[in-house]
Amino acid sequence: MFTNKMRKDSKVVSRFALALAVPVISAGILSLASSVSAEVISAEVIQSTLGSAGPDNWAILSLGGNIAVQDTVTLNGPGTTIGNVGATSTTDLALNSSSAPAILGNVYMGNTSNFNGSAANINGPGGQIQGTIFTNQDTLLNAASAQALAAHITFDNLPNTFTVAGGSISGTKTLTATVNGANVTDLTNITLGNNEILTLDGAGLADAQFVINFNGVISLNGSTTGGKILLTGGLTSHDVLFNYTGSATGDVVKSSGGSSGSTPNAVFSGVYLVTSADVNLSPGVVYGEIIGASSGNKITLVSGSEVVNPPSSVPVPAALPAGLAGMAALGVWRWRKNRQSMS
C-alpha cells in the first residue's frame, strides 16, 4: 500500500536532477484494489482507485484499445518527460525531437505498439530515451489500462462535496479543501489566461485531495503571471485529479502561450484522466500524470512541453533483465538523495 510519504511534491524538478539509472521496482502493484465505493470518499482515493495506472507509476500512460484505429502519443521536443511512459497496444509512440532526451525514464511497449517519428537515435548513448525499453508488455499495460477506464467511471460517480458558482472557472480563483479526504466537484470549463491562476488549497489537512470532474475543456494560455493551475496547503501533484466526463472529441486539455527560458508558461498540476478525447499541449508543463490516448485519441506534447513525475515504483515488467534489480536500487537511492537536497 502506498503512504503519504511515497507521494511526490509538485515543485519544479530539474530535468537533469534525477540522475536516472532505473526506478524502483515493486512487485504486487497489480493486486491493488481499483474500486472505491461512491458512498465512502476516503483518503488516498486517487491512488487506490487508479491502482497500477496511477501517478506513483507513470508520467504518461496511453490506454490503447482498438486495433482498427491508431492511438498516438507524440513528443516533439525539445521538452523532456521525466518519468515512466506506458504505451498500451495499438499506440504509436512518435518521437520527433531533435534535442535529446525526450524521455528520462523507462518505456513500456505493448505487444503491438510501435515507435514512430523522425528521431533516429531512440535508445543509444545520447538517445531520445534515457532508460530501459521493455517490449511485449500487454499483460502489465492492459491491466493498468483497465483500471484507468474503471477509475474514470468511479470518479464520475463520486458525490459532490462542494460546488462552484456558475459551474465553470474563467479567472483567478482559489478552491479550498473542507474535507480531510476527497473534495469533489463537477465543472464544465476551466479557462485561464494572462494573470489568471487557479489555486487548489489543501488547507493543511493531511489527507485532503481534489477530484474535479469536467465535461468541457481545460484551456490554459500561459504567461509569466498566469495560465496556471497551482497547489498549496500541503497538496502534492498526486492529490489532485481532473477527470474528463464529456462526449466531445478533439482537444479537451490544451495549452498555449510560449515559454520563459526552457519552461512552458502554462502550468498543469495534478493527474489528467482523459479517456475519450485528446490532450494537446503547445506548450505546457504537467507536474503529475497524463492518462489518455485510447481508441484513436491522442496525447500531443510540442514546442517544449514537458511532464514531470519521477516514479516511486513501477510494476515488474514481463521479462526483467539480469542485474536490473541492483540498478533499480541504485537509481532510487540517487533520486531520493537529489529530492532531499531540493526540499
Q: Write the pLDDT tens digit of every residue in 238-255.
A: 999 999 999 998 999 999
- The rounded Cα 42 to chain-centroid distance in angstroms is 22
| pLDDT single digits (tens) 140-158 | 999 999 999 999 999 999 9
Q: What is the pLDDT of residues 206-216, one digit of tens each?
A: 999 999 999 99
> Grid coordinates 465553470 are at which residue?
168
Going by pLDDT thresholds of 50, 70 and 90, the confidence category of residue 117 is confident
* H or E segment and range at residue 152: helix 138-157
Whether a cis peptide bond, with omega within 30° of 0, leads into 55 is no
E-state strands within 24-98: 60-64, 71-77, 81-82, 85-87, 91-95
Closest CA to 195 of 169, 230, 224, 229: 224
- If one compares 275 and 332, the residue with the highest pLDDT of the two is 275
Tell me the average pLDDT of the chain: 82
pLDDT digits (tens, 9 = 90+) for 11-40: 333 333 333 333 332 323 232 223 333 333
- Residue 68 banded pLDDT, cuts 50, 70, 90: low
End-to-end CA distance of the chain: 24
Q: What local confidence, expressed as pLDDT, does residue 17 receive?
A: 34
Query: Where are the chain's structural domains?
Result: 4-37+45-159+238-342
* Average pLDDT of the residues in 275-295: 96
C-alpha distance from residue 334 to each of 21, 22, 238, 310, 330 (Å): 8, 10, 21, 12, 6
Least confident of 174-188, 221-235, 278-292, 294-308: 294-308
Q: Which three cell numbers stand for residue 204?
A: 493543511
- Residue 26 is predicted with a pLDDT of 30
pLDDT at residue 249, rounded to an integer: 86
